[in-house]
Each structure stands twice: as structure tokens, then as C-alpha cells.
């Protein structure tokens, strides 16, 4: 599902940015719109190395005008996504992108700026915060509260009634049992299994997940 009134600017032309643009193409399939006419990539000036990507214009941030554009920030790392969004003009209009091959309950609530990839599942009475990214085949169970700038990598599994604070990153195939709470600015490593509340910032790995201590 893609609803927009203006042109589309995808901030980021790396892996997630390219995937997001492909999702937009999928959403526009069969419509009157041509992607190269209504969408652009936006990149920080230091990352501007090519003028097009997939035949779609790439514009350095210093030369981009936000007027008449809706913005989708497609940066994979949660804290960096938050930093970029907070640096944009106050009146920026944000786009939400829900792939038609995802499954989102009609009783779920999604805030602005989310990216929901194909194969992702979001169950009933779950709330997804602003600018969250739910990647391929990730699942969010019922009655969860997911904070802003959350990232679920491919195959991540969040069981029901979990509460997750902002800027939490779940690696590929990470799993969390039901009724768990996770503090802000936490990274769950790929394949980790979370079986109890996490109350401190940091990186957690293993089964059961334990905090990775700095040496």
C-alpha cells in the first residue's frame, strides 16, 4: 500500500534505499506512474558518486528541495535513521511504505514513515512507532508496542505482548519470547534468543541472549 500526493524522495541509496525503491516500484505496478518521473534518491553529499541508480535520479542533499516531495528515510541503522530524520526540515512530509505482499492486521496501528517489506507480518492490536523498518519475513506478534526507529532484520520474530523502546535493532533471525520489555538503544545480534527483559543499553548475543561486554 502506497498513498502519496506529491513526488517521492527516498533518503539513502544503499541497500535499504534500493530495496525501498523496488518496493515502491512494486506498489506502482500497473498504475499510470513511471518511477523515474515521480521519485528520486537523496544522499548526503559525501556519498554522491553517481547521478542515477536503477535509472532513477540521485540528488545530493545540498541540491535537493523538499517542496512537493514526501520523504521515506531508508537507512538501515536505527540511531543513524533517527539522526537524519531529526536533521530534516520541521515541515518535512514523510511517506509510509507497506508492501502489498506483507500481512498487516487491520487492527494494527502504524505511525508515519514506516517501511514494511514483503513477507513481513504484523498482528492485531500491535502499535508500530515512527520510521520503523520491518524487513523480509520478520514477524511482530499481537498486542506489541514497538518504539520509534525500530529495525527488524529479515526473519526476526517478536512474540506477543512485547514492549520495545526506541532505536532498537534486531538482527536477522533474532527471536524474543512473549511479554518481554526491551530498553532503548539496544542491539540484538543475529540469531539471538531473548528470554528475559533487557533493562540496559548495549548489544546482546547468544541463546539465551547476554550482554556483550566491552574488552
Report, as residue numbers or ranges, the catalytic residues. Answer: 142
Q: How far is CA 198 from the centre of its chain?
A: 22
DSSP, collapsed to helix, strand or coil, labels residue 140 as: strand
- The angle subtended at Cα 69 by Cα 68 and Cα 72, nearest 5°, is 165
Cα separations (Å) of 95 from 8, 66, 131, 207?
8, 13, 9, 37
H or E stretch including 17?
A: helix 15-28
Q: Residue 121: which residues within 8 A CB-CB, separation 6 or more?
A: 102, 103, 104, 138, 139, 140
Distance between CA atoms of residues 180 and 196, nearest Å: 6
Q: Which residue's C-alpha cell is 514483503?
A: 118
Q: How far is CA 17 from the centre of its chain?
A: 10
C-alpha cell at 184: 532503548
Amino acid at each position: 500500500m502506497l498513498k502519496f500526493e506529491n513526488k517521492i524522495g527516498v533518503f539513502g541509496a544503499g541497500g535499504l534505499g534500493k530495496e525501498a525503491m523496488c518496493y515502491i516500484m512494486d506498489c506502482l505496478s500497473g498504475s499510470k506512474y513511471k518511477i523515474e518521473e515521480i521519485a528520486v534518491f537523496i544522499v548526503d553529499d559525501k556519498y554522491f558518486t553517481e547521478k542515477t541508480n536503477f535509472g532513477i535520479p540521485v540528488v545530493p542533499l545540498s541540491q535537493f528541495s523538499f517542496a512537493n516531495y514526501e520523504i521515506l528515510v531508508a537507512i538501515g541503522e536505527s540511531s543513524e535513521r533517527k539522526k537524519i530524520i531529526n536533521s530534516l526540515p520541521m515541515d518535512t512530509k514523510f511517506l509510509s511504505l507497506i508492501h502489498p505482499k506483507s500481512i498487516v492486521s487491520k487492527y494494527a496501528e502504524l505511525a508515519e514513515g514506516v517501511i514494511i517489506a514483503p513477507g513481513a507480518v504484523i498482528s492485531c492490536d500491535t502499535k508500530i512507532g515512527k520510521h520503523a523498518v520491518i524487513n523480509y519475513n520478520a514477524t511482530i506478534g499481537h498486542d506489541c508496542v514497538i518504539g520509534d526507529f525500530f529495525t527488524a532484520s529479515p526473519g526476526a520474530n517478536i512474540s506477543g505482548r512485547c514492549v520495545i523502546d526506541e532505536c532498537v535493532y534486531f538482527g536477522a533471525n533474532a527471536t524474543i519470547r512473549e511479554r518481554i520489555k526491551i530498553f532503548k538503544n539496544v542491539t540484538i545480534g543475529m540469531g539471538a534468543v531473548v528470554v528475559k527483559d533487557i533493562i540496559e543499553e548495549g548489544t546482546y548475543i547468544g541463546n539465551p541472549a547476554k550482554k556483550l561486554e566491552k574488552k
